Amino acid sequence: MHQQIKLLQKVITKKGNSKSLTFSTPHVLKSILLLSSQQYVSRASFCQELKIGEGAVRTLISHLKEAGLVESIKAGTFLTKKGKRFAEYFREIMPSQTFLKKCCLTNGKHNSAILLKSAFIDDIGNGMQQRDYAIIYGASDSLTLIYRKGEFVFCGDKVVCFPDEPEIRDDLIQALEPEEEDIVIITSSDDKFVADISSINTALLTIGAHEKH
């Protein structure tokens, strides 16, 4: 993982006397995952999905090319073989993401849930570190849950989540397809993109800090 993190950091490194970048590591990872799900991605699509301007998109693509992760043709930007391997690595660790409706445990209009496979993550503590990671990107709150015996429990204890909202539990299971001891991070915000990008940032930093060696 350290090699992959270093590559992400390389992409967000300012070159020479260029202006400060308006994108960061979760934006880069989101762009890679977007590219992995489509044959080509246009600049307009990058602008829409990443919520950054056209100039920033051009810079991002330039940095991704320099890192050997993408190439571009008239149809759009696409992943190289190196980029595909990079995307597959993260898809293996964080294979699914979804949005769930507001419930008793969330305080935002939009709630992004992302799955982390337990095979790659060691003890993640009580979830406070993940909350800090989420707030950095503007989320109002974050929950870190563990899937155990068909239920979601709060990390650090055995309290079952959603006891009175089984439909929320069932929606998460259907969308994320967790296996025993897998981790689910949910970040909340009244802005959908903030919920999304903060969940990616939280997942990325959690992987980096708690990777099994």
125 versus 173: which is more confidently predicted? 173
Say yes or no: domain 2-91 is CATH 1.10.10.10.
Answer: yes
Q: Where is pLDDT greater, at 18 or 182?
A: 182
**At 61, which helix (H) or strand (E)?**
helix 54-66
Mean pLDDT of the chain: 90
On the question of pLDDT at 180 being above 70, the answer is: yes
The domain ranges of the chain are 2-91, 94-210
Q: What is the pLDDT of residues 48-81, one digit of tens each?
A: 999 999 999 999 999 999 999 999 999 999 999 9
Angle between helices 25-36 and 81-93 (to 10 degrees): 100
- Per residue, the 3-state secondary structure of 150-210, as one string, reads CEEEECCCCCECCCCCHHHHHHHHHHHCCCCCCEEEEEEECCHHHHHHHHHHHHHHHHHHH
Domain 94-210 class? alpha beta
- Please tell me the predicted confidence (pLDDT) of residue 80: 96
